[in-house]
Chains A and B, each alone.
Chain A
Amino acid sequence: MTVAVIRFGGSNCDRDAVRALEHLGIDAEIVWHKDGLPEDPSGIVIPGGFSYGDYLRAGAMAARTPILDEVRDAAADGTPVLGVCNGAQIGSEGGLTPGAFTTNESARFQCEPVHLRIENAETPWTAAFEKGDVIEVPIAHGEGRFEIADGTLAELRADDRILFRYCDAEGNVTEAANPNGSKDNVAGVLSEDDHVAVLMPHPERASLPDIGPTDGQGVLRAFE
């Protein structure tokens, strides 16, 4: 059983994802999107990068490739799917999760460590944490501002589908701790079932002890 890490032209966190998963003892392999999914992957990662050069909108093109139909079917059958950064943009563009990730409030690309508060620990993606835990992971994006209609956001809250919110080191969700102007400081959300999680920050970049903090490991352990 192997986690399939989908590579599009312009993906650039695919190898990081494989390395981080293998560090946790989870088999993972890169899959070229045109080759389609392998049979019965144990999980799927849509990695970060700049698929199709972010043409039109970040993730718009990759979200309309045939492999996304396979991802949708696999998720419906219960395969866990994680979208990170560009993968989150692809997931929301492809309708796997609600909302949209669009231009940062700063109108700039931002690459910096952020703090996230775990909003719901009762999901495979956050089972390694307690609700209210604060983790540190990096962001690296120009289009990460979460936008969603107020009504839909209220539904997400009511259904406990907000996974992570930007916060300060003490766990206070404040405007100052919001790096990109995301609505309600939302950094990551869950699909209607709990099979798909997307988030803008990079857990795979905070998973190897040689590099720095390893808080991201808890998210990747959903694939164990």
Chain B
Amino acid sequence: MGTHPGDSHDRLITLLRVPLSLTDSRVDIHERVHWGKPTIVFTHEHALIDMTAYTATVTVRLKRGVLDPEAETTQQALERLGFELEDLRSADRFEVDLEADDSEAAESRATEMADRLLANPTIHDYDVEVTEA
């Protein structure tokens, strides 16, 4: 309202609270828009959210004994290339970036993700590893 290109002062239009792990202190972002030219201003005055960024790595693999035709085909292709190998197993790895109070909360959320979607319990086992991002 009342601001036009060329106005001398910026207009504060949004306040995003995005915790970043750049330093130990939490950093909020004030986004200021100077008519199409966004600039980001970092301030240290807000510490409203005490969450930590984690990466949860969910590895989903077929249960022992469940046939893996794609892995077998891949093994045959490696052997055709002249490699010697005994066996080959494939797995899916999901890296989930999330924010949580602590690593246990992060692990429990990622475990639920695996239970409810990422793995199919009839054919898959999975494990979850959490690291601070």
CB neighbors of A among B22-72 (8 A): 66-70, 72
Question: B69 to A105, Cβ gap below 8 A?
Answer: yes
A-B contacts, 19 of them at CB < 8 A, read A56-B117, A60-B120, A64-B117, A93-B120, A99-B122, A100-B122, A102-B66, A102-B123, A103-B68, A105-B69, A107-B69, A107-B72, A145-B67, A147-B66, A147-B122, A147-B123, A148-B122, A149-B122, A181-B69
A72 at interface by CB-CB < 8 Å: no
Query: Which positions in B face A, CB cutoff 8 Å?
Result: 66-70, 72-73, 116-118, 120, 122-123
> Cβ of A100: which chain B residues have Cβ within 8 Å of it?
120, 122-123
Total A-B pairs, Cβ < 8 A:
35
Please, which residues of chain A bring their CB within 8 A of the CB of B69?
A: 103-107, 181
A61: nearest residue on chain B (CB-CB)?
A: B117
Known A-B contacts A100-B123, A102-B123, A147-B123; the reply to A56 vs B118 at CB < 8 A is yes
A93 to B116, CA, bound (A): 10
Indicate whether A57 reaches chain B with its CB closer than 8 angstroms.
Answer: yes
Q: When chains A and B are docked, how far (Å) is the Cα of A194 from the Cα of B120?
A: 24
By the criterion CB–CB under 8 Å, are B117 and A107 in contact? no
Separation of A60 and B120 alpha carbons in the complex (Å): 9
The bracket for how many chain A residues form the interface is 20 to 34
Please name the residue on chain A nearest to B118 by beta carbon. A56
Q: Considering only CB atoms, which chain B residue lies closest to A146 in the complex?
A: B122
Chain A residue at minimum C-beta to C-beta distance from B120: A100
Q: Which 6 A-B pairs have the closest CB atoms?
A: A107-B69, A100-B122, A107-B73, A100-B123, A103-B69, A147-B123
- The winner among A56, A64, A99, A106 for most chain B CB atoms within 10 A is A56
In the assembled complex, the Cα of A64 lies from the Cα of B117 at a distance in Å of 8
Taking CB atoms, residues of chain B closer than 8 Å to A147 are: 66, 122-123
**Cβ contact within 8 Å between B120 and A181:** no
Which of B66, B67, B72, B122 counts the most A-chain CB atoms under 10 A from its CB?
B122
A34-74 vs B, Cβ < 8 Å mask (1 yes, 0 no): 00000000000000000000001100100010000000000
A62 to B117, CA, bound (A): 11
Q: Please give the distance in Å from A102's CB to the nearest CB on chain B.
A: 6
